[in-house]
Structure 1
């Protein structure tokens, strides 16, 4: 399991040294099949990350944390076999 809190925001503030796809490809390399990644960040970054997760054919869903908060959770699972 990989957990990242605010990681995408941090990367954005530091002028994007890596693209979101590059980050997810590296996580895909490290993560075991049927492994999980949980990312907590702002809604726009989570939406962008969800589209990248879909490109990698991961199972991804977004969860709202709080109505008053702009933050969301992205919960992804790497499948055992690519679909």
Structure 2
């Protein structure tokens, strides 16, 4: 969601995956570097909806996108979570690498948007990155009690 130089997408290049790198509109335009690596990319303002037609995604990787949205642009963090939920396919995963206050903000909404925490790693033991946390969540399939009765 904030592709930077496309390194995360490049790490997945050998896998049988379709990766879309999204560069923020107000940051450095690194699309040429992403394209030079043979990857796909686009520029987007995350205060607006992201056009995903005709697909949804199995994995979102968000690193430092919340500060751009909330602090710099004054947009709603809740709206960004709802947009992530819309983009993410049921049973898909979200990896968020951020500072603890943002991770706590996201964790506050996990139940409401039917996401389940899969793993969390604190990098406080790592000398190079003392204040970042990695949170991995999975989007659950939304089912009503009526739909459960119909499958019996």
TM-score bracket for this pair, using the shorter chain length: 0.7 to 0.9
- 1:13 is displaced (CA, Å) by 2.8
Whether the 8 Å contact between 1:34 and 1:78 is mirrored in structure 2 is yes
Measure the CA separation in 1 of the matches of 2:78 and 2:131. Answer: 23
Deviations 1:21-74 (A, max 9, x none): 111111111111100010111111111111122321210243212325111012
Runs of 4+ in 1 over 3 A off after TM superposition: none
Q: Of the two, which has the highest radius of gyration?
A: 2
Work out the number of aligned pairs and report it: 82
Distance in 2 between residues matched to 1:82 and 1:16, nearest whole Å: 34
Larger helix proportion of the pair: 1
Q: Does 1:58 align with 2:120?
A: no
Partner of 1:29: 86
Contact kept in structure 1, 2:70 and 2:77, CA below 8 Å: no
Structure 1: 5+ residue runs without aligned partners? none
CA contact (8 A) 1:34 1:80 kept: yes
1:9–1:42: 8 Å Cα contact kept in structure 2? no
TM-score by length of 2: 0.48
